[in-house]
Structure 1
Amino acid sequence: MKHLIALAITAGASPLLAQDISLQLPIDCTLGKTCFIQQFTDRDPGPEAKDFTCGTLSYDGHKGTDFALATHEDRLNGVDVLAAADGRVRGVRDGMPDLGLDNTSSDEIEGRDCGNGVVIDHGNGWETQYCHMAQGSVRVLDGDTVTAGTPLGQVGFSGRTQFPHLHLSVRHNGAVVDPFAPNTDSCADSELSLWAKDIAYQPSAILDLGLSDAVPEYDAIKQGLPEADIARNEPLVLWGYAYGAQSGDVMSFLITGPHGEIFRHDVTVDRQQAQYFRAGGLKAPKGGWPTGRYTGLVSVSREGRLVDRRVTQAEIHG
């Protein structure tokens, strides 16, 4: 097994970096639909954490960008990790199990927080590192030449991680660089980005939602739930799974059936949470639900402004 090269990492980017690298999206997905940026590089020099907008999508000392999948089912279906720019592979690791932080021994994670991954040298002091890839999926070898978009492997659940995602680190001369704002050491508006195409900042989003006959277990939601088969005499529950919660956010639920609206409810989030889920619903009426199609709408609002909304549907048969 080859090992990722150990590198001295210094937090914070050098100001006014020359932009001699341009990055493509390092994952084969559609941002905001099939994948989401849940954590950015920490721009706060102290014990607090702030992303490049001075928002809360980071944690203390985070040295990269996390491109997350909604559920483990998405991970198991296979999502490619892609080279963000042309370069030469200068380190690989494979063989660590896809068990995440909670189910991997401390001995196995020690010094290998990245899990299975790849380091690419792009020249002129630039390099990128790709972490938490799936066991047995790494497709490149040390010394290989790659071009932007070359598949490196697949998103996994290896190393120090608690959700399926690709962690991308960008470094220049060994120092961590935030690709969203490489010319500043603090969180602030920046006109410079290393991305070849603009990537919209999404402060929160709904990862998944569904209609079911009971409030599902949180672990089951994170794994990925199949479409529910709801009987006429069973409760009807609408649930939403989201990221980036701030205290005061409102998750709203609306269920409509063959004869119009049957349920509406708002839940106010009481604390900041990286990921969370809420649910609401009601028991079946006397005689059971009318047969037909039912639609669930989940939305998230912040300070009265809509952040995200998604729709799901289910059929109730006679």
Structure 2
Amino acid sequence: MSNPVFSNSDVFGEPRRTAARRGGVGTAPAPQQGYGQQAPQYGQAPQYGQYGQYGAAGAQAADAASLENMYNAPSATTADTKRLTYDDVIVKTGGLLAVLVVVAAATWYLAPGLWPVGMIVGLVLGLVNAFKRNPSPVLITLYAVAEGVFLGGISAAFASFYDGIVLQAVIATMATFAASLFLFRSGRVRVTPKFTRWLIIAMVGYLAFQLVNLVLVWTGVLGGAGMRGGVLGIVVGLVAVGLAAASLIVDFDSIKRGVEAGVPAKFAWSAAFGLTVTLVWLYLEFLRLLAIFQSND
């Protein structure tokens, strides 16, 4: 998968394999004595087991009552079985985004200069959470806090140069998320192995481009945003937004596979973390792209 949160998971995107099978072969019940047996002679008391055992009738009645109770009992829900549901993913994703937005707003007004700290801490926690086999709610929540510090500070910096850019980036991110979800749910875009391979290759190429551009800017070979400015910057920004949207669709497919496979409910934290990572990336790309458009006006 494109998102390391899902691609490194043992439960998302892969069919579950049963580790053990139920063993043991039951023995056939002993045949009951019935109408084919010889009747007792006159004056002789019937022996237990003849004409149907008295205890067998009681057992059959008890079994029938148990089956009736089982039939009338309510079906087990996902809450009872502790399996992943879409509601779990929605609630936890909403919670992480709420934490991120609150921390971002506080950072914007109180300490926007802390964004480099949030960026570094968020990167470290992002890598740790992405490669953990079992999700840690505490570390995932701390990641949301760190990203809130980063996004709050960097958004304040962009807003000081470009009016209304933050609101525009938020709306564009929400619209892209809704469009990606619609395309996935409607079946207009299907996640196939070919689609996934194409996305991985494209994302590796984009990452290589970003690293080269960063080195050229840091070494002074290129000024300003380097190759992320001007017409080329617009093209790269549009490609990056497209990659992030495609990554969202793959994330949706991974979550769908996890729900259908009945993975444990605790992996809702992994799904929420993966979606948050992609949404943060998408927001940053829109922020850069809108800044280029406004600087060219």
Bucket of the pairwise TM-score, normalised by the shorter protein: under 0.3
Higher helix residue share: 2
TM-score, with length taken from structure 2: 0.21
Q: Which has the higher contact order (CA 8 A, sep 6+)?
A: 2
TM-score, with length taken from structure 1: 0.20
Higher strand residue share: 1
